[in-house]
DNA sequence: GCAAAATGTGAGCAATCCTCGTATTTGTCA
DNA sequence: TGACAAATACGAGGATTGCTCACATTTTGC
């Protein structure tokens, strides 16, 4: 799942370690020098394998970036699912949402490499659709809760709202961590207000 | 202004035509084959000039993409400034904002190349900051109006809200044109509701 | 009409992704 | 264990593409 594009199915254990090592090196390179600094030859060298071996684990550079992004997405998604699971009322949902936003913002601040991974995704034409797909998955989690809490509302409208709120959440995070901390905090607060008002509106 | 990175200041007229021709070809290439399909050699050939001449007008590929984006941004900005200029009350501002969003959405639908130009900007590490810079400029236009209408509100908070609303507007447009029309319309409606509520909130 | 400055040209350099023929390791069976 | 086969590792080099630079051509100023 995390590495869906492997060239062959290898003798599990060692190759799994190899893949982990490759992704760790890649994360490191991106964290230290930005999303444009990922060179396949350097990635191989720093991981301690040859370029040929690297291409046995990942069919191309996009696959490396995709694996990084999917790992990160899976974490966030699990976090979102868990955070929303308990919300049994509109007020609880608003609270859960607010604290999810805070958590995610904290994560972005603590590990700016997440933003760089997203940059790498957007820099790759073959991967740009990932962002919408991920917003859609997260939106579906939120929409499921909303439908429970508002059984008579228009489902299509709920879905659109949930998708938008999740997508704009990502956009807000990326904006917030690219400005200074004070302003970033204000942006996140404004986003929370907007999103929660829309979610709890009649 | 539109081509701020020219190699030398040339004998105005012909070079201006040349630059226009280059940008027209570039727009065409991006519109037809996506933001990753811009090849400097092909751009030169299709414009009818040599690769060397192309590099006399633009120092590198980023400069071409930047010129495209700046043209597009200048148009939008003028449109936004004009749309907001007349708003002398909170209600009028809300109305002006709503119709600006509709206009911009219509523009995106009619000319999808705008989205591809933004993709090209994001694909280029040297240009990614343009997006925030543009949101900031547009946010400043909106903030100026809001400050007039709410003299006693916290200016920093107004600025953050305006920046966020403009930035999320861009994000919404790009999302909306990448899904089917019905859903896109719903997304834009939801964005308008959210933004206007936040702008007109106490 | 000529020299000098400005502009045009395209072969080729450099960086980078990725392939493919070969070498090495691992697994299996007598 | 030894020998053979299958899986894995290797890295030189092919292919693409951004960009340079030495030279050719055109324009300008007198």
Beta-carbon separation of B125 and A175 below 8 A: no
Å: A3 CA to C21 C1'? 27
pLDDT digits (tens, 9 = 90+) for B89-127: 999 999 999 999 999 999 999 999 999 999 999 999 999
Per this entry, what is the length of chain B?
Answer: 202
Closest alpha carbon within chain B to A34: B125
pLDDT digits (tens, 9 = 90+) for A176-191: 999 999 999 999 999 9
- From residues 38-57 of B, which are strand C contacts by CB within 7 A? 49-53, 55-56
Mean pLDDT, to the nearest integer, of A141-149? Answer: 97
Kindly state the tokens that stand for B40: 């400097």
pLDDT digits (tens, 9 = 90+) for B153-167: 999 999 999 999 999
pTM for the structure as a whole: 0.93
Burial of B163-189, coded b for 16+ CB within 10 Å and e otherwise, reads bbbbbbbbbbbbbbbebeeebbebbbb
Q: What three-state secondary structure class fits B178?
A: coil
pLDDT digits (tens, 9 = 90+) for B24-80: 999 999 999 999 999 999 999 999 999 999 999 999 999 999 999 999 999 999 999
Whether CB of A62 is under 7 Å from strand C: the answer is yes
Residue A4 confidence (pLDDT) above 70:
no
pLDDT digits (tens, 9 = 90+) for A85-137: 989 999 999 999 999 999 999 999 999 999 999 999 999 999 999 999 999 99
Beta-carbon separation of B198 and A201 below 8 A: no
- Name the nucleotide with the smallest C1'–CA separation from A55: C18
Residue A190 burial (C-beta neighbours within 10 Å; 0-12, 13-18, 19+): buried
Å: B28 CA to C9 C1'? 24
Q: Are the C-beta atoms of B43 and B24 separated by less than 8 Å?
A: no
- Contact pairs from chain A to chain B, CB under 8 Å: 100
Beta-carbon separation of A187 and B35 below 8 A: no
pLDDT digits (tens, 9 = 90+) for B132-144: 999 999 999 999 9
Beta-carbon separation of A198 and B179 below 8 A: no
Per this entry, what is the length of chain A?
Answer: 202
Contacts of B46 (CB under 8 A, 6+ apart): B25, B28, B29
The per-residue pLDDT for A6 is 52
Residue B5 confidence (pLDDT) above 60:
no
Confidence of residue A145 (pLDDT cuts 50, 70, 90): very high
Confidence of residue B86 (pLDDT cuts 50, 70, 90): confident
């Amino acid at each position: 799942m995390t590495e869906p594009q492997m060239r062959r199915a290898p003798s599990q254990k060692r190759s799994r370690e190899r893949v982990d090592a490759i992704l760790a090196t890649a994360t490191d390179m991106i964290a230290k020098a930005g999303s444009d600094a990922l060179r396949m030859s350097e990635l191989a060298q720093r991981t301690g394998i040859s370029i040929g071996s690297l291409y046995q684990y990942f069919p191309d550079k996009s696959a490396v970036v995709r694996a990084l992004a999917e790992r990160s997405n899976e974490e966030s998604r699990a976090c979102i699912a868990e955070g929303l699971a308990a919300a049994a009322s509109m007020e609880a949902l608003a609270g859960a949402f607010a604290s999810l936003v805070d958590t995610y913002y904290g994560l972005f601040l603590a590990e700016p490499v997440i933003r760089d991974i997203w940059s790498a995704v957007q820099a790759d034409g073959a991967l740009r659709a990932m962002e919408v797909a991920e917003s859609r998955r997260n939106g579906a989690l939120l929409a499921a809760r909303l439908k429970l809490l508002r059984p008579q509302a228009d489902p299509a409208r709920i879905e659109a709202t949930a998708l938008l709120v999740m997508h704009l959440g990502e956009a807000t995070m990326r904006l917030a961590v690219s400005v200074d901390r004070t302003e970033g905090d204000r942006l996140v607060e404004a986003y929370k207000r907007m999103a929660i008002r829309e979610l709890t509106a009649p």
